[in-house]
């Protein structure tokens, strides 16, 4: 479908005003399509105005404008033109709409555990026309009324309360005025739990087969929700704007969450039906807080156009890590962000597709292409830096002023910046231009002169890449640590320009470790001086969690830059495993060490020894870890990933007791089976038997991933064909197959597929939907094959012009990562 442009949307905004939608959905029919009838009331500024509405049907039955039937053949590329408008207009559209299995429109899922069917709407961005006819742009907000027909045992939820008018008949609304992309429904035999807080009805929902898993966590989920609602109210100065707040965990969800006003949809991954460490529960609290903050940052005040969607998402990510750490039992989100998500922003910011935090998309597709880790995680980091620069009180005052002025409407980034500048009593335009409207990342490193054990002069150097030569103003802390790991000084400074003297350090004792960005206030690559780098292995464990997390992120960046050896990084990981108490750091560093450093950045000849050393360290700590220790599960998951011992893995599926008294639940069993399969210790028959014993969706996806990991030519060919041939695989099935296919221990077996990936990708591009294709390319790209010949194949494909633009960007970024990894090796 042709992507709506900003100019087209502006013309339509000036031409019409939408009074309301009445949408009738019949979900009681076939498994392939549903009937959608839409009546839209709208006014036209001029009788001769020409506009269009959007619709992506399986079959369009009728279009009627002000009682006059229109020719359904006028629908072209998802657009239907309207001419001859009156001042007051009513448009009626009747169509059969296709269900989706890839989160494009109304997604339909059949639970393999019990055969029950569930549907939910995925209208995000430009997918609403796959559910109902509409004027699909964010600034044409309007109230909605839904009438929904379902099987009698289903319930229906939406952004407003749904009431059952008869068996299988439901009515919703009218809602508050809302954008089409924030309008959704969900229907099915969902299990529900309810509560009340501050006059708000709270709801938690999931499919029936997961009800027991949700029941175990209802108290925690409601507690986090209540606390985050209250703190958001306090920060924004505006009460939660709706009478109810539902959170629904849905199957086969391709994003982490969609935050519709009053009905947040969440990936089922965060509803635990197996043991979960506190690090995952913390992440879930962050996700809940993200959705809650968007009730204000998107629902109450909506971006006028897609190029400013980044603002709400960046603020939501910032607040999602801040609020839970301040008001719930989960105090670690800033540490987790420093260890993981911030590094993802640094990576994205150095790739060919780098862009400013504030995107400048002239179409929906262009704007959404840039809504990525830079928008979310660099945007979050920039806002944290802003808070350090102007003070938290000014930031809070700016937010309150913004909501006072624009509640229940739409607003632009300029509106936001004006409110913030007014509250801070300074013009923040220059800050905005350097932090939000310029791309890439700076590098900071210290200059230190000493004599007789005392600092005589100090400065901080700042550089920027030649492609993006912007030097920023950084407010940061400098920490000085002695040989015992004690912080002897903490100095706040402002780095501005290529070289910033720091006279406050003069006269202080020469430190064993000088740490720039102590507390992780700014966004920059940090380099250690030679003395600090030598002292780091002995001092790292004693630093504050936020600094350990920040340094692990910086060390990984240094490995990718070729400034720190991959082998030294993994040796440091083996030492860390023995003592690190912070679950988020353990989790993130172990994952990075295995799947980034060991699998892609380390010389393959060194990999077996390095991986085995970390496995030994994990075994050693597990041997002294008690059965109730919170870190036991994280350590054991790490051991599964790192152990090269197939017999050890097989024993954990049999009579041998797991380390630290852990229980073999469904999640651990499938993790073990995947690693065991990759090492050749589990065959197709055993995988089939395991799936038969676990007939739910977890078992189906686990078995699919294991089949793709079988070290067997026929199994690899079958998995490859299933992935690249157009079919009816869901997005999660694609992800499972791709996730099992490449295994470092099978490099000789899969070598022909490295070549085939680049040869066959252009042909696949025309046979899959954009969402599935994007997922497929990112999941199946041969990242592990960081060799010059693979880089040549990748660049030849990029130079050939055979890839569509929707694929080219992701392929170029992955190729840049591949080239950097090959250079490091």
Q: What is the mean pLDDT of the chain?
A: 94
Please determine, for residue 730, whether its predicted confidence score (pLDDT) is greater than 90: no
Q: What is the DSSP letter of 5?
A: B
The Cβ of residue 799 has, within 10 Å, a number of other Cβ atoms equal to 8
pLDDT of residue 47: 79
- 734: confidence class by pLDDT, cuts 50, 70, 90: confident
pLDDT of residue 768: 65
Please determine, for residue 194, whether its predicted confidence score (pLDDT) is greater than 70: yes
Q: Which two tokens stand for residue 152?
A: 């009698």
Angle between helices 545-560 and 583-592 (to 10 degrees): 10
The per-residue pLDDT for range 95-137, each reduced to its tens digit, is 999 999 888 999 999 999 999 999 999 998 899 999 999 999 9
**Distance, CA of 41 to CA of 340 (rounded, Å):** 47
Residue in the block written with tokens 């000088």: 514
Instruction: Answer whether 128's CB lies under 8 Å from 136's CB.
Output: yes
pLDDT of residue 309: 86
Rounded to an integer, the average pLDDT of 705-710 is 98
Q: Which of 307, 464, 476 is nearest to 387 (CA)?
A: 476
The per-residue pLDDT for range 539-559, each reduced to its tens digit, is 999 999 999 999 999 999 999
Residue in the block written with tokens 């945007």: 379
The per-residue pLDDT for range 366-405, each reduced to its tens digit, is 888 888 999 999 999 999 999 999 999 999 999 999 999 9
Residue in the block written with tokens 């987790």: 336
**Strands 88-98 and 33-44, how do they pair?**
antiparallel
Annotate 309-341 with DSSP letters as a single string: HHHHHHHHHHHHHHHHHHHSS---HHHHIIIII
Angle between helices 713-724 and 731-741 (to 10 degrees): 150
Instruction: Answer whether 5's CB lies under 8 Å from 363's CB.
Output: yes
Rounded to an integer, the average pLDDT of 285-314 is 91
The per-residue pLDDT for range 664-688, each reduced to its tens digit, is 999 999 999 999 999 999 999 999 9
- Three-state SS for 260? strand
- 779: confidence class by pLDDT, cuts 50, 70, 90: confident
pLDDT of residue 19: 97
Rounded to an integer, the average pLDDT of 711-740 is 88
| pLDDT cut 90: percent of the chain above it | 86
pLDDT of residue 769: 65
CATH number for the domain formed by residue range(s) 1-189: 2.60.40.1730
The per-residue pLDDT for range 565-617, each reduced to its tens digit, is 999 999 999 999 999 999 999 999 999 999 999 999 999 999 999 999 999 99
**Distance, CA of 182 to CA of 191 (rounded, Å):** 23
**Distance, CA of 458 to CA of 444 (rounded, Å):** 13
The Cβ of residue 292 has, within 10 Å, a number of other Cβ atoms equal to 27
Please determine, for residue 164, whether its predicted confidence score (pLDDT) is greater than 90: yes
Q: Which two tokens stand for residue 276?
A: 């979960």
pLDDT of residue 161: 96
Please determine, for residue 772, whether its predicted confidence score (pLDDT) is greater than 90: no
The per-residue pLDDT for range 202-251, each reduced to its tens digit, is 999 999 999 999 999 999 999 999 999 999 999 999 999 999 999 999 99
**Distance, CA of 386 to CA of 416 (rounded, Å):** 14
pTM of the model: 0.92
The per-residue pLDDT for range 403-419, each reduced to its tens digit, is 999 988 888 899 999 99
Rounded to an integer, the average pLDDT of 145-157 is 98
Task: Give the containing element (helix H, strand E) for 651.
Answer: helix 646-653
Q: CA torsion angle for 359, 365, 366, 369 (degrees, to 10)?
A: 70
Please determine, for residue 771, whether its predicted confidence score (pLDDT) is greater than 70: no
Please determine, for residue 757, whether its predicted confidence score (pLDDT) is greater than 90: yes
Q: Which of 153, 164, 157 is nearest to 187 (CA)?
A: 157
Which top CATH class is 204-439?
Answer: mainly alpha
Rg, Å, the chain Cα set: 27
| pLDDT cut 70: percent of the chain above it | 99
């Amino acid at each position: 479908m042709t992507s709506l442009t900003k100019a087209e949307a502006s013309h339509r905004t000036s031409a019409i005003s939408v009074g309301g939608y009445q949408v009738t959905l019949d979900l009681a029919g076939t498994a392939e399509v549903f009937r959608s009838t839409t009546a839209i009331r709208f006014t036209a500024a001029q009788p001769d105005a020409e506009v269009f509405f959007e619709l992506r049907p399986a079959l369009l039955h009728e279009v009627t404008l002000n009682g006059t039937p229109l020719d359904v053949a006028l629908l072209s590329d998802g657009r239907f033109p309207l001419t001859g408008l009156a001042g007051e207009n009513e448009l009626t559209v009747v169509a059969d709409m296709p269900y989706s299995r890839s989160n494009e429109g109304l997604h339909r899922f059949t639970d393999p555990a019990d055969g029950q069917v569930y549907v939910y709407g995925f209208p995000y961005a430009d997918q609403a026309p796959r559910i109902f006819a509409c004027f699909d742009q964010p600034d044409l907000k309007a109230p909605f009324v839904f009438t929904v027909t379902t099987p009698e045992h289903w319930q229906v939820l939406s952004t407003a309360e749904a009431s059952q008018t008869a068996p299988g008949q439901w009515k919703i609304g009218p809602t508050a005025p809302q954008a089409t992309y924030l309008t959704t429904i969900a229907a099915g035999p969902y299990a529900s739990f309810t509560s009340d807080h501050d006059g708000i009805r709270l709801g938690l929902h999931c499919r029936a087969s997961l009800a027991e898993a949700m029941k175990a966590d209802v108290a925690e989920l409601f507690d986090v929700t209540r606390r985050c609602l209250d703190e958001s109210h306090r920060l924004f100065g505006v009460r939660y704007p709706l009478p109810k707040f539902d959170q629904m965990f849905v199957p086969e969800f391709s994003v982490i969450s969609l935050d519709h006003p009053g009905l947040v949809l969440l990936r089922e991954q965060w509803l635990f039906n197996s043991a979960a460490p506190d690090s995952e529960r913390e992440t879930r609290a962050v996700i809940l807080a993200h959705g809650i903050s968007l009730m204000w940052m998107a629902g109450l005040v909506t971006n006028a156009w897609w190029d400013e969607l980044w603002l709400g998402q960046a603020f939501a990510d910032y607040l999602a890590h801040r609020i839970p750490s301040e008001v719930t039992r989960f105090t670690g989100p800033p540490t987790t962000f420093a260890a993981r998500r911030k590094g993802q922003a640094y990576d994205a910011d150095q790739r060919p597709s780098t862009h400013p935090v504030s995107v400048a998309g002239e179409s929906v597709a262009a704007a959404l292409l840039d809504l990525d880790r830079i928008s979310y995680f660099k945007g979050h980091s920039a806002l944290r830096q802003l808070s350090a620069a102007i003070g938290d009180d000014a930031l809070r005052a700016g937010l309150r002023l913004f909501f006072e002025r624009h509640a229940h409407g739409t607003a632009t980034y300029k509106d936001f910046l004006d409110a913030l500048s007014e509250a801070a009593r300074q013009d923040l335009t220059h800050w905005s231009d350097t932090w939000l409207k310029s791309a890439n990342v700076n590098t900071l490193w210290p200059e230190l002169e000493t004599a007789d054990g005392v600092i005589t002069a100090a400065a901080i150097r700042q550089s920027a890449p030649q492609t993006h030569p912007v030097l920023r103003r950084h407010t940061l802390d400098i920490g000085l640590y002695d040989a015992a790991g004690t912080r002897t000084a903490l100095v706040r400074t402002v780095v501005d320009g290529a070289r910033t003297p720091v006279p406050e350090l003069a006269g202080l004792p020469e430190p064993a470790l000088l740490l720039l960005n102590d507390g992780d206030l700014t966004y920059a690559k940090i380099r250690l001086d030679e003395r600090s780098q030598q002292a780091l292995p002995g001092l790292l464990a004693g630093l504050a969690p936020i600094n350990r997390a920040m340094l692990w992120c910086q060390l990984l960046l240094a490995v990718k830059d070729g400034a720190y050896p991959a082998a030294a990084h993994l040796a440091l990981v083996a030492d860390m495993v023995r003592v690190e108490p912070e679950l988020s750091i353990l989790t993130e560093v172990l994952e990075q060490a295995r799947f980034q450093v060991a699998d892609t950045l380390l010389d393959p000849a060194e990999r077996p020894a390095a991986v085995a050393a970390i496995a030994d360290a994990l075994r050693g700590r597990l041997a002294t870890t008690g059965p109730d220790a919170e870190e036991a599960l994280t350590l054991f998951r790490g051991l599964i990933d790192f152990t090269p011992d197939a017999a050890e893995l097989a024993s954990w599926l049999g009579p041998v007791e797991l380390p630290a008294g852990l229980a073999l639940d469904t999640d651990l069993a499938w993790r073990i089976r995947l690693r065991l399969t990759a090492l050749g210790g589990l065959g197709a028959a055993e995988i089939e038997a395991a799936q038969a014993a676990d007939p739910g969706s977890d078992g189906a996806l686990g078995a699919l991933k294991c089949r793709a990991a079988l070290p067997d030519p026929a199994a690899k060919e079958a998995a490859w064909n299933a992935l690249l041939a157009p079919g009816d695989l869901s997005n999660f099935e694609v992800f499972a197959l791709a996730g099992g296919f490449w295994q470092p221990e099978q490099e000789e077996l899969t070598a022909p597929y490295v070549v085939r990936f680049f040869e066959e990708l252009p042909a696949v591009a025309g046979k899959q939907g954009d969402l599935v294709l994007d997922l497929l390319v990112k999941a199946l790209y041969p990242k592990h094959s960081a060799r010059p010949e693979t880089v040549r194949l990748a660049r030849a494909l990029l130079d050939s012009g055979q890839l569509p633009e929707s694929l080219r960007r992701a392929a170029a970024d992955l190729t840049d990562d591949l080239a950097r990894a090959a250079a490091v090796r």
